């Protein structure tokens, strides 16, 4: 285990903001992970677990230890007549797990194609897209307690999944490192085609519905509306979509009858796309210094080059305030802000 000092994280976060970590270590096995945690505890250092760097906004300087999760491996280890169970280590790229499942014609993850980030970060966020969330296929995960180095299994109930939420963002925030996850995938997939433009895109391309076809069109849709971090720094959706009461929706409809909304299991609640709210506040495509809201999707904040994490945070605060003022709705960040 090699501890680096004054490590630049510029190339390790998709926002492309400059950040220098006073200490940095990359781990590739459980022994190294346990040793790194022991070192951090002994030195009483601030600790940041860094996966793909795709859902995090970093400060210009991080005074502590940044631990990069490089645990690798994907394997099928169990099956029955209807399902297969696949274990994936936390340092794997999320889309590689999706590609693995689709290549084997197993269903459950195809709608989550091309979501950036690492597998270890996925359950923390309960990632979701196009009518599917990770929790729909999730079985359990293995995590190491930061304080003791002890391993613990968390099942779905233990994880307390919610909309872009889990126990790891609330009661157990900063207490565990996710080592691996296990997903249960269907041999005879039940495709979810009703959300977004999936069904229309399949028809346009004259594709018969299958896990491979769904992955193909989801990738195409995402690439068309979301910027590539290799070209312009971003973390994908910066804000969560918002749940409001039906009364709030009716209030907004008086001025904006075209407002999009999606019904929820709770009949008193609806989801309104936060990107729509941000766009109506005039932010879509607007540039503020080196930052801005993406021209094709207002939900995405971007780094036009040279922006710091502090500048991006300031922009997000202005957007939150403007949505509150115009619609009396409080929107929340989806990105993990370290500042």
Which residues belong to the active site? 164, 237, 334
Q: How many Å separate Cα 248 from the centre of its chain?
A: 27
Residue linked to tokens 């003791």: 148
Q: Distance between the two ends of the chain, CA-based, in angstroms?
A: 27
Residue 22 DSSP SS3: strand
Cβ(272)–Cβ(278) below 8 Å: no
What pairing do the DSSP bridges indicate for beta strands 46-50 and 61-69? parallel
Rounded Cα gap, residues 238 and 335, in angstroms: 5
Q: Nearest CA to 13 among 24, 2, 29, 27?
A: 24
CA angle at 273 for the pair 271 and 279, rounded to the nearest 5°: 150
Which residues are CB-contacts of 63 (< 8 A; sequence separation ≥ 6)? 22, 46
Residue 36 DSSP SS3: helix
Cβ(240)–Cβ(274) below 8 Å: yes
Q: C-alpha distances in angstroms, 202 versus 68, 114, 142, 206, 212?
A: 38, 17, 37, 6, 11
């Amino acid at each position: 285990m090699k501890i680096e000092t004054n490590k630049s994280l510029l190339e390790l976060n998709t926002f492309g903001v400059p950040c220098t970590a006073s200490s940095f270590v990359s781990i590739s096995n459980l022994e190294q992970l346990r040793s790194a945690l022991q070192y951090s505890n002994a030195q009483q250092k601030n600790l940041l677990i860094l996966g793909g760097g795709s859902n995090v906004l970093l400060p210009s300087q991080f005074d502590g230890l940044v631990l990069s999760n490089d645990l690798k491996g994907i394997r099928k280890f169990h099956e029955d007549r209807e399902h297969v169970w696949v274990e994936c280590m936390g340092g794997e790229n999320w889309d590689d797990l999706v590609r693995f499942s689709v290549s084997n014609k197993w269903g459950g993850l195809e709608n989550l194609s091309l979501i950036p980030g690492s597998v270890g970060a996925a359950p923390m966020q309960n990632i979701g897209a196009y009518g599917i969330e990770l929790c729909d296929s999730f079985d359990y995960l293995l995590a190491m307690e930061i304080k003791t180095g002890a391993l613990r299994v968390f099942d779905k109930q233990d994880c307390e999944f919610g909309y872009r939420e889990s126990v790891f963002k609330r009661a157990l925030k900063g207490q565990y490192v996710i080592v691996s996850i296990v997903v249960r995938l269907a041999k005879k997939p039940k495709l979810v085609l009703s959300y977004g433009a999936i069904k229309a895109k399949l028809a346009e391309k004259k594709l018969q519905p299958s896990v491979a076809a769904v992955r193909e069109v989801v990738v195409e849709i995402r690439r068309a509306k979301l910027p590539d971090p290799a070209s312009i720094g971003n973390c994908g959706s910066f804000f969560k979509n918002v749940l409001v009461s039906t009364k709030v929706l009716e209030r907004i409809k008086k001025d904006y009858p075209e407002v999009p909304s999606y019904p929820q299991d709770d009949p008193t609640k609806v989801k309104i796309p936060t990107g729509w709210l941000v766009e109506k506040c005039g932010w879509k495509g607007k540039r503020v210094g080196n930052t801005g809201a993406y021209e094709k999707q207002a939900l995405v904040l971007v780094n036009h080059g040279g922006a710091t994490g502090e500048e991006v945070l300031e922009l997000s605060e202005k957007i939150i305030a403007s949505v509150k003022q115009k619609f009396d709705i409080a929107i929340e960040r989806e990105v993990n802000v370290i500042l």
